[in-house]
């Protein structure tokens, strides 16, 4: 098993470990909770993770370049409100235009972060701590304490969350889940096979070296923030579709949730390593834990967060210890083979 694992790229190994963890969690809760393993579980987790996974992918792009974006929660809130407001005023806006509007507004906000980080050379954590407050202020001022109301939204948007692409018995593959999956696959391929993707990793693992090698570091960092903002905008749209009534508190706390998904997903917080697929699995694992804990009758309302914190820590630690073992094994084998060669 270890031998087989060691022949894969480290990211692949990490994803496998995460998949294993997810299976373990499912098996554990299936033993604990009656009627746990059924089609509903898939429907619940897949639809609720769709929102966080898209956001986590954006966060991953930024974290890979050794930066962080704490303003994503405010971007989600603002775009959800802004697009909701436009759609309430004008029900005839084309669905595609609405989505593009959300992505565009998000990209604009992300671009603002990106310019400050890449060209004004302000550390990302400072910029995004600032814009987290700033974008939220914009939202509160813009909203004038009015709520986006479900009743004013066009029918297609209200139908979107229950739109199935495929159904097998009670197992539904929802449209929003398909959106999420397409984003995952698109960005996974993009990072793996484009030169932009390779540069992203290079900058994260060693910014100076990347600079010396003549990479357009600034432009790439800007683009990563821009894409993160765009994905946060898309998340805002999904948020609007799922919850309908939008107030100024929309998306509060999403920044730390997205960071949690990214780090559980094995993306190195200091940049340079990790994958889109991993971050998605991280989001799935956290969502699965949350959704299962609230269904576990033996666990009172008040124990849930304490357990969630410890389980997140445990899963990151398991992952890290596992990876260390694999690396050690690989190093030994490598040493042995070079010895025998010489």
Region 196-235 residues binding other proteins, contact defined as CB under 8 A: none
* Stretch touching other proteins by CB under 8 A, among 90-98, 215-223, 252-260, 333-341: 252-260
Q: Shortest approach of other proteins to residue 188 CB, angstroms?
A: 23
Find the binder of other proteins among 291, 323, 330, 333 (CB under 8 A): 291
Each as own residue / partner, the long-range contacts of residues 331-339 (CB below 8 Å, 24 or more positions apart, any chain) are 333/3, 333/6
The residues in 22-41 that bind other proteins, with binding defined as CB under 8 A, are 35, 40
Structure tokens at 166: 């495929």
Q: Which of residues 75 and 139 has its CB atom nearest to other proteins in the complex?
A: 139
**DSSP track, 147-174:** PBPGGGS-HHHHHGGG-EEEEETTEEEE
The verdict on 170 binding other proteins (CB under 8 A) reads no
DSSP H helical segments within the chain, as ranges? 2-6, 10-32, 39-64, 72-89, 95-118, 124-143, 155-159, 175-193, 195-205, 207-212, 217-243, 254-264, 276-293, 304-341
Smaller CB distance to other proteins: residue 44 or 219? 44
What is the spatial distance between Cα 55 and Cα 250, in angstroms, rounded to a whole number? 14
Is 141 one of the binding residues for other proteins (CB under 8 A)?
yes
Give 110's Cβ-side CA count (13 Å radius): 32
Residue 205: φ, ψ to 5°:
-80, -30
Alpha-carbon dihedral of residues 96, 97, 101, 103, nearest 10 degrees?
A: 20
Q: Would you call 321 exposed, middle or buried from its count of C-beta atoms within 10 A (0-12, 13-18, 19+)?
A: exposed
Q: Which is nearer to other proteins, 70 or 105 (CB)?
A: 70
**Between 15 and 197, CB nearer to other proteins:** 15
Nearest to 227 by CA among 259, 175, 191: 191
Identified binder of other proteins from the candidate list 39, 186, 317, 335, rule CB under 8 A: 317
Q: Please give the DSSP secondary-structure letter assigned to residue 145.
A: T
Q: Which residue stretch of 24-32, 216-224, 228-236, 307-315 sits at the interface with other proteins (rule: CB under 8 A)?
A: 307-315
Paired tokens of 207: 């910014």
Q: With binding defined as CB under 8 A, does residue 168 bind other proteins?
A: no
From 85, 88, 150, 206, residue interacting with other proteins (rule: CB under 8 A) = 150
Stretch that binds other proteins, among 17-25, 82-90, 127-135, 229-237 (CB under 8 A): 127-135
**Running DSSP on this structure, what letter comes out for residue 146?**
P
Work out which of 247, 273, 330, 333 binds other proteins, going by CB under 8 A.
247
Position among 39, 189, 313, 328 found at the interface with other proteins (CB under 8 A): 313
One residue of 137, 167, 212, 337 binding other proteins per CB under 8 A: 137
Stretch that binds other proteins, among 84-92, 93-101, 199-207, 258-266 (CB under 8 A): 258-266
270 binds other proteins (CB under 8 A): yes
**Shortest Cβ distance from residue 328 to other proteins (Å)?**
14
- Footprint on residues 47-86 left by other proteins (CB under 8 A): 48, 51, 70
* Binding residues with other proteins: total (CB under 8 A): 74
């Amino acid at each position: 098993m270890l031998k087989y694992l060691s022949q894969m790229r480290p990211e692949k190994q990490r994803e496998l470990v995460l998949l294993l963890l997810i299976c373990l969690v499912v098996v554990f809760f299936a033993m604990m909770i009656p009627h746990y393993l059924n089609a509903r579980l898939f429907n619940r987790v897949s639809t609720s993770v769709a929102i966080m996974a898209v956001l986590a992918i954006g966060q991953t792009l930024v974290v890979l370049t050794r930066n962080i974006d704490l303003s994503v929660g405010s971007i989600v809130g603002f775009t959800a409100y802004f697009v909701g407001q436009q759609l309430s005023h004008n029900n005839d806006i084309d669905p595609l235009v609405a989505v593009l509007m959300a992505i565009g507004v998000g990209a604009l906000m992300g671009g603002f972060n990106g310019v400050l980080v890449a060209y004004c050379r302000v550390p990302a954590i400072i910029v995004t701590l600032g814009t987290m407050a700033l974008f939220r202020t914009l939202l509160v001022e813009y909203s004038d304490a009015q709520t986006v109301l479900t009743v004013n939204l066009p029918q297609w948007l209200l139908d979107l969350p229950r739109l199935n692409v495929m159904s097998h018995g009670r197992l539904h593959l929802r449209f929003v889940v398909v959106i999420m999956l397409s984003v995952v696959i698109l960005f996974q391929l993009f990072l793996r096979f484009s030169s932009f993707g390779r540069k992203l990793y290079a900058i994260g693992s060693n910014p100076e070296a990347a600079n010396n090698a003549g990479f357009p570091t600034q432009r790439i960092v800007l683009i990563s923030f821009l894409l993160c903002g765009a994905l946060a905008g898309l998340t805002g749209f999904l948020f609007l579709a799922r919850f309908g009534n939008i107030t100024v508190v929309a998306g509060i706390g999403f920044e730390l949730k997205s960071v949690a998904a990214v780090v559980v997903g094995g993306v190195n917080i200091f940049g340079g390593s990790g994958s889109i697929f991993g971050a998605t699995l991280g989001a799935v694992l956290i969502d699965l834990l949350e959704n299962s804990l609230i269904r576990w009758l033996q666990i009172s309302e008040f124990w849930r967060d304490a357990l969630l914190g410890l389980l997140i820590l445990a899963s990151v630690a398991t992952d890290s210890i596992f990876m260390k073992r694999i690396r050690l094994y690989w190093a030994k084998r490598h040493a042995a083979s070079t010895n025998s060669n010489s």
